[in-house]
Structure 1
Amino acid sequence: MTVVIGSDGRRLTLGPLLGKGGEGAVHQVVEAPDLAAKIYNSGKAKERRDKIIAMVSARVHSTSEFVAYPVDTLKSTTGDFVGFTMKKVSGFKSVHDLYGPGSRKVEFPTADSKFLVRAALNLAAAIASIHDTDCVIGDINHSGILVSDKALVTLIDSDSFQYRGPSVIYRCLVGVREYTPPELQGAPFAKIDRTANHDNFGLAVLLFQLLFLGRHPFSGKFLGNGDRDIQTAIREGRFAYSARRTETMMEPPPHVPSLSDYGEEIRKAFEAAFMPPARQPTGRPPASEWVRILRSYESSLQPCAVEKAHAYRPGLSSCPWCALEQGMGRSLFTAQYSMTSSVMDIGQLLSSIRSIPTPTPPPQAETVVPPLPELQISSAGQAVRKERTVTMIAGMAAMAIGLYLITAVQGFWGLLLLVGSAIVTIRASDLKARFAPELTAAQSHWAEQTAKWLDQAGPQKFVRRKNHYLELANTHSALPAKERQKLDVLEQRKRQLQLVKHMESHLIDRAKIKGIGQGRKATLASFGVENAWDVQQQNITSVPGFGPSLASDLLSWARSVERKFVFNASSPTDPRAIQDVKASIAKERVEIERELTNGPLELRRIADEAMVVRQKPPQSLIDAFAQLKQVERDMSK
């Protein structure tokens, strides 16, 4: 085994390899189980030597429990600087495995929506602790952030942080463009002193990904000509979820939460974080502000009545996670139902529902309307009568003239005038014909209001709701058989389930695919394409920036993954699939029981309302009856 020497001369033995990257390798330390040793590759040690010595001398590692800072310098047995020790991080996984819905089910099976909020809060706290020192992360991205199954957060790769020593700034020389603020896009990192405000952009991106299913805030559908990749969208300030849609000309991908789901304070914070720098006179929200905002949001969360893995803010009419899962056709979290039998006494509920008497048929609607005051002819009726009188006088005068013409002047024209004026006079005297349109409208309105009243006052509405509850009870009693049937189908589809699990385990983010770099991987994730199975199930050319050529390369990779699948007939059915079936049935049971519980109360309310509307009919019914009688009065002689 290789031996290295600490600054105090203590000899340390490098144990098993914990990880390896482009800069070097991380080993266990045999003599100190709580420490790990990072040993640089040849040529890298000299570049980092002064920076590590400065960080160790300043005891930066004592300033934060969230970061694996250098604890001590390490030299080879020949005296050359080779690396450093740091606290060993075990039991933690990449934050990317948490915010991606597919990987989350595998790597964080107990994580729920509140877990995501807690992880976001702890991430903000971790970065706030870094900014309280002389460090700036610089290269802030998902690969350097680890999360435990308790939502604790640890940052690694601290030797790449920008560190301000007593007389020199040791810059961060690298960066991931998808987490780089617009003012640094395309800039030479080696020539720039990073600031906490630069980190605050990358922090906001990571927080957004944790809260928004791994979606990148600048990945969406561009409403202008062509496409915008993530780097271009960042540079141009095109926050895809912004309320400034006419300005950003972007809309978010399908099946994602909205900013309003998280409330006004979080919405404003994201808008401020992703606003163009020229419009940020006070800078982006700092990590400490995110800690306050997320702590307040976390404390306000209320549990979903249907799905225990869901929690959402007060003020929303329904659970946004339930709506998302319904739209996507799949669960976003591993369901957390109790699979024990229901403790609800359905039999007692049914007895209560059946015992509520059905309302009797109501009386005729006319009989419940209060007596109307003696109706007088309306102003419209009086006007018609005046018009009728004038018309009849004129008609009789015309008839007299016509009679005169027949006898004294010319028979034909006189006869024509006599007949025409007689017809006009007779029609003018017919009030029923004159009020026919008003009568038809009044009768139709009365019939409409009567039908509404009968539905409220009679048994129809009560019977409909009662039958609905009885059908729900039948559905509830059939749930065990439905569960057995679904589990039988799983057994029959064992090969397909194994194939799906195999494909889903191959994540795009971890794969090397021709033409698919980190930016395009982030775009795919933003549109719900995380693994080989997603590639085969979705139309990749509908993702912005993915034409036929890239889609073909991606599909070729997915097919190569599929070719490696080997069916194991002796393997039991996937426990996750069984859990999904049981969770689905349990969720249906909870929803039915919740609705059935309201049954007796609703039926009693409907029955009581039926009696009330009989004794006190609604004003709309009274008005319709009065309108009809008024028209009939106006039509009377």
Structure 2
Amino acid sequence: MSSVTDKLFADGRELKLSNRVGKGGEGEVFSLVDIPGHAVKRYFPQIAGDREFKIRAMVGSRVSASANTVAFPEQIVTDSRGKFVGFMMRLVDKHKEIHELQTPSSRQKHFPKADYRFLARVALNVARVFAQVHSTGCVVGDINQRGILVSQNATVALIDADSFQFIHNGERHLCVVGVPEYTPPELQGKSLKDIVRTKDHDAFGLAVCIFQILCMDRHPFSGRFKAGDMPLEKAISEFRFAYSGRNTGMEPPPGSVKLSDFPPYLRMNFEEAFAPDNVGKRPDPEMWVKSLEELEQSLRPCSKNRLHHFSRLAQDCPWCRMEATYGRPLFVNPDIDPIIVGDSKVDDSKGWVIDIAALLAAVNNCNVPTSVSITLPPIDQTLTPSAEAQQQRDGQSLSPLVRLAGVGIAALGVYSLTVKHPVILFSIGLIGFGLFLLFKKAEEKGATLIARHIQTWSKIKTVVQAIQAKAPLDKAQKTKSEALAAIEQYQTLSKSYEKVRIEYNGKRQKEQLESYLSGFPLRRASIPKLKTSDFAALASYNFHTAFDVKTRDVQQVQGIGPVKDANLKAWVRGLEAKFQYNPNYTAEDQAKIRAKQAEIVTKQKGQDDKIKSLIAQLQAEVKAFETWRTQNHPELVTLFRELSQLECDIRAAGGTVPLKDTIAPHSVNANTTSSYRSTPVWGAGATSTTSQSAKGVASPCPICGSAMRLRTARRGRRPGSSFWGCTRFPTCRGTRPY
């Protein structure tokens, strides 16, 4: 049996071990002094014999040359007696385990400058690495958070490649282990020692991994079950994707992302990866690469927080929603540089400073009317009477003849009564009846012109009101309100910035305890009764550290009952017992103050950008309104040409043109109504009347088409009640109900 002090050799060359860089259940990993960028994995003696055959096959196939992002075995390592002890591989240094990135509290410590664009790029690189592994013919099999490493440049590497399923010369070397939260439904609860893994099995674990990266460490199968308790492993085995559009009986935890926050292709990949009818045809790494590239291209900054980036296809910022739910920032960049950008700068006492007076002036200089009125086309006074009007005028010119004929008829009547001649009586009656019809026809034509005038003006009012209602003014009013609200929000943030240090001094001990407990991640804790799937479920409900356990109820998480709750609280109490308050200001205190200030400055910058964007939008909308207000409306031009002709005809026929009431402007905040005022009575001695009531304007008379006025019944079945009566009463007795 070889010991850790034995000399080690690779291809006959003695290896000089340096620091131990890792330790797991199978062995230890050491960097090499004389071979930079490489390391040795030395198995524990009881493990080495079982691994030798597979490792020799991997080295012999030179699979490492096909995937430079994977720590594949490159050379066999033996002891001084030539006995197999392990292998040499590429050293993956300056990388962190991926859970340090996807967990918000750990990310702020290990990747403090990472925003969501960084997360999207890492997810993309994870998919690319899996594609590289599959191109070698290998299957990862044991997908877990400790085997995927991330650098500060978002590059991704896989370690523990010796556990991959590998086929060489027809000999299949299986992957015999796996973590339940990354194991597909069809393999849940089964022994993995004799199961041949497929790339489709990997596709499930890859989808889980990508979901956790993009969704702040939420597990896709962890959520609220509508009918009782649902452990994570069971939820996976029953295909209960908590975020699915399918009815899975599960709901996402509070304060989570939605599938609608992502582009369509990415949403489709998640649904297909976790659906029962897609077993065997889940999205492969290349499909994930395509959908994640689409996500990257769709990302935009949040107007409220510059560190928030989300898809432009989302309705709102998911990270603002999550922060509002839990009250803690997801992204914090601690660097505050005293830089000057245009008319804005960072001030030690106020944060991001902008010229409030200038911005307010810019907003208020945008005059947004509270009502809309448009200029109507003028009445054309140059028109000549129509043929119909000419006929009407000829009829009117017969009026003197009618009066003269009346005198003659009267004389004939006296004579006929004297001589009692029947022929004369008949002639008198015939002439009188003809003259009556002629006068009646002329009167009806005059009433028709009046009615058409009333109807045309009514159409004009309807069209004008419809045009005014469509004015692009409501949007400008809303934009102006949003700009003023953004300025007010900025001022609120400035006051918060001024209070950061004062408030921190008042609660330093509490802050120190919070910082202390936040330094103990749940995933690294050893707590009785809790399995890895429990930690994944806790992470899905935003439980990442001892501080989260202390401040919130863990029993809201599926699978965490009273026993596990008690064990978690006992773990926290044990940590609290070791806490010691430091009354002196430390570098950590200063860093926390700067981090809080940086958070506020980021939001101030976001409001600054939002204000300026809204002002530019408001100016464009006001300009667009002015352009709209002065444009011609063809439908109105046509109606006014018709109205002009009618007025010309009425005057030519000797009638009085009805008065046109004012069309009320359209209010942006309230609907207004207007009435039609006219002088519809034909001939001399006509009087004007207004047809108006609280309920609106009556339609034209159903008999003659004239305007109607509100009247009160004096007799009949409903004396005292109101009704619409024709303004030509008693000549016309048309009515309408009120």
Same fold, TM-score > 0.5, yes or no: yes
Q: Which amino acid aligns with 1:507?
A: P
Quick check: 1:353–1:600 contact (8 Å CA) kept in 2?
A: no
Alignment partner of 2:22: what SS? strand
CA 186–590 in structure 1, closer or farther in 2 if over 3 Å, else same:
closer
Quick check: 2:149–2:157 contact (8 Å CA) kept in 1?
A: yes
Quick check: 2:550–2:569 contact (8 Å CA) kept in 1?
A: yes
Quick check: 2:486–2:607 contact (8 Å CA) kept in 1?
A: no
CA 312–5 in structure 1, closer or farther in 2 if over 3 Å, else same:
same
Q: Alignment partner for residue 44 of structure 1, among 44, 47, 56?
A: 47
Q: Alignment partner for residue 288 of structure 2, among 287, 290, 293?
A: 290
Quick check: 1:309–1:336 contact (8 Å CA) kept in 2?
A: no
Shift of 1:556: 1.2
Q: Alignment partner for residue 573 of structure 2, among 538, 555, 559?
A: 559
Q: After alignment, is 294-303 or 549-558 more displaced? A: 294-303
Q: After alignment, is 464-473 or 538-547 more displaced? A: 464-473
Q: Which amino acid aligns with 1:508?
A: L
Q: Which amino acid aligns with 2:55?
A: I
Quick check: 1:6–1:72 contact (8 Å CA) kept in 2?
A: no
Q: Which amino acid aligns with 1:265?
A: Y
Aligned residue in 1 for 2:186: 183
CA 337–197 in structure 1, closer or farther in 2 if over 3 Å, else same:
same
Quick check: 1:134–1:165 contact (8 Å CA) kept in 2?
A: no
1:518 and 2:569 equivalent?
no
Shift of 1:22: 1.3
Shift of 1:498: 1.3
Q: Alignment partner for residue 64 of structure 1, among 48, 64, 67?
A: 67
CA 489–204 in structure 1, closer or farther in 2 if over 3 Å, else same:
same
Quick check: 2:486–2:610 contact (8 Å CA) kept in 1?
A: no
CA deviations 1:515-536 (Å, max 9, x no partner) are 1110111111111111111011
1:343 and 2:381 equivalent?
no
1:35 and 2:45 equivalent?
no
CA 188–467 in structure 1, closer or farther in 2 if over 3 Å, else same:
closer
CA distance in 1, matches of 2:113, 2:105: 13
Gaps of 5+ in 2: 344-354, 380-464, 631-661, 677-691, 700-707, 711-722, 726-738
1:9 and 2:12 equivalent?
yes
1:494 and 2:545 equivalent?
no
1:89 and 2:89 equivalent?
no
CA distance in 1, matches of 2:489, 2:106: 34
Quick check: 1:140–1:175 contact (8 Å CA) kept in 2?
A: yes
The alignment's TM-score, normalised by the length of structure 2, stands at: 0.67
1:206 and 2:209 equivalent?
yes
Quick check: 1:122–1:152 contact (8 Å CA) kept in 2?
A: yes
1:127 and 2:143 equivalent?
no
CA distance in 1, matches of 2:56, 2:476: 81
CA distance in 1, matches of 2:621, 2:60: 76
Alignment partner of 2:205: what SS? helix
Shift of 1:583: 2.2
CA distance in 1, matches of 2:217, 2:272: 20
Shift of 1:315: 2.9
Shift of 1:296: 2.5
CA 535–362 in structure 1, closer or farther in 2 if over 3 Å, else same:
closer
Aligned residue in 2 for 1:249: 249
Aligned residue in 1 for 2:411: none
CA 351–190 in structure 1, closer or farther in 2 if over 3 Å, else same:
closer
Quick check: 1:15–1:27 contact (8 Å CA) kept in 2?
A: yes
Counting only pairs closer than 5 Å after superposition, residues 106-121 of structure 1 correspond to structure 2 as: 106-121=109-124
Quick check: 2:480–2:618 contact (8 Å CA) kept in 1?
A: no
Shift of 1:162: 1.0
CA distance in 1, matches of 2:478, 2:142: 63
Shift of 1:134: 2.6
Q: Which amino acid aligns with 1:628?
A: G
Q: Which amino acid aligns with 1:348?
A: A
CA deviations 1:13-58 (Å, max 9, x no partner) are 2222111111111112222121111111111111000111110111
1:101 and 2:90 equivalent?
no
CA deviations 1:412-438 (Å, max 9, x no partner) are xxxxxxxxxxxxxxxxxxxxxxxxxxx
CA distance in 1, matches of 2:284, 2:171: 25
Aligned residue in 1 for 2:440: none
Quick check: 1:68–1:88 contact (8 Å CA) kept in 2?
A: yes
Quick check: 2:112–2:334 contact (8 Å CA) kept in 1?
A: no
CA 108–596 in structure 1, closer or farther in 2 if over 3 Å, else same:
closer
Aligned residue in 2 for 1:330: 328
CA distance in 1, matches of 2:215, 2:172: 36
Quick check: 2:522–2:545 contact (8 Å CA) kept in 1?
A: yes
Alignment partner of 1:215: what SS? coil
Counting only pairs closer than 5 Å after superposition, residues 347-362 of structure 1 correspond to structure 2 as: 347-353=357-363
1:230 and 2:232 equivalent?
yes
Quick check: 1:3–1:12 contact (8 Å CA) kept in 2?
A: no
CA 502–283 in structure 1, closer or farther in 2 if over 3 Å, else same:
same
Q: Alignment partner for residue 320 of structure 1, among 288, 296, 318?
A: 318
Q: After alignment, is 295-304 or 103-112 more displaced? A: 295-304
How many aligned residue pairs are there?
A: 549
Shift of 1:602: 4.1
Shift of 1:321: 2.3
Shift of 1:265: 0.7
CA distance in 1, matches of 2:230, 2:547: 26
1:309 and 2:312 equivalent?
no
Aligned residue in 2 for 1:535: 549
CA deviations 1:263-318 (Å, max 9, x no partner) are 21111111111112xx1265111112111221232123223233232222233343
CA 624–39 in structure 1, closer or farther in 2 if over 3 Å, else same:
farther
Q: After alignment, is 87-96 or 24-33 more displaced? A: 24-33
CA deviations 1:309-341 (Å, max 9, x no partner) are 222223334333223323332211114886545
CA deviations 1:46-91 (Å, max 9, x no partner) are 1000111110111111111111011100111012110111111110
CA distance in 1, matches of 2:618, 2:663: 20
Alignment partner of 2:271: what SS? helix
CA distance in 1, matches of 2:280, 2:254: 33
Shift of 1:103: 1.1
1:630 and 2:680 equivalent?
no
Quick check: 1:466–1:603 contact (8 Å CA) kept in 2?
A: no
CA distance in 2, matches of 1:42, 1:149: 35
CA distance in 2, matches of 1:617, 1:269: 53
CA distance in 2, matches of 1:94, 1:266: 24
CA distance in 2, matches of 1:240, 1:13: 51
CA distance in 1, matches of 2:532, 2:526: 10
Aligned residue in 2 for 1:274: 274
CA 462–557 in structure 1, closer or farther in 2 if over 3 Å, else same:
same
Counting only pairs closer than 5 Å after superposition, residues 306-455 of structure 1 correspond to structure 2 as: 306-335=304-333, 339=337, 340=339, 343-344=342-343, 345-353=355-363
Aligned residue in 2 for 1:379: none
Q: Which amino acid aligns with 2:709?
A: R
Aligned residue in 2 for 1:579: 595
Alignment partner of 1:126: what SS? helix
Aligned residue in 1 for 2:142: 139
CA deviations 1:510-555 (Å, max 9, x no partner) are 0001111101111111111111110111111221222222212111
CA 588–558 in structure 1, closer or farther in 2 if over 3 Å, else same:
same
Q: Which amino acid aligns with 1:583?
A: E
CA 464–552 in structure 1, closer or farther in 2 if over 3 Å, else same:
same
Shift of 1:581: 2.7
Shift of 1:104: 1.1
Q: CA RMSD in A?
A: 3.7
Task: Give the percent of matched residue pairs that are identical in Structure 1 and Structure 2.
Answer: 35
Quick check: 1:4–1:11 contact (8 Å CA) kept in 2?
A: yes
Aligned residue in 1 for 2:665: 617
CA 47–153 in structure 1, closer or farther in 2 if over 3 Å, else same:
same
Alignment partner of 1:22: what SS? coil
Q: After alignment, is 543-552 or 57-66 more displaced? A: 543-552
CA distance in 1, matches of 2:620, 2:78: 83
Gaps of 5+ in 1: 372-449
CA deviations 1:199-234 (Å, max 9, x no partner) are 11111110111111111111111112x211111111
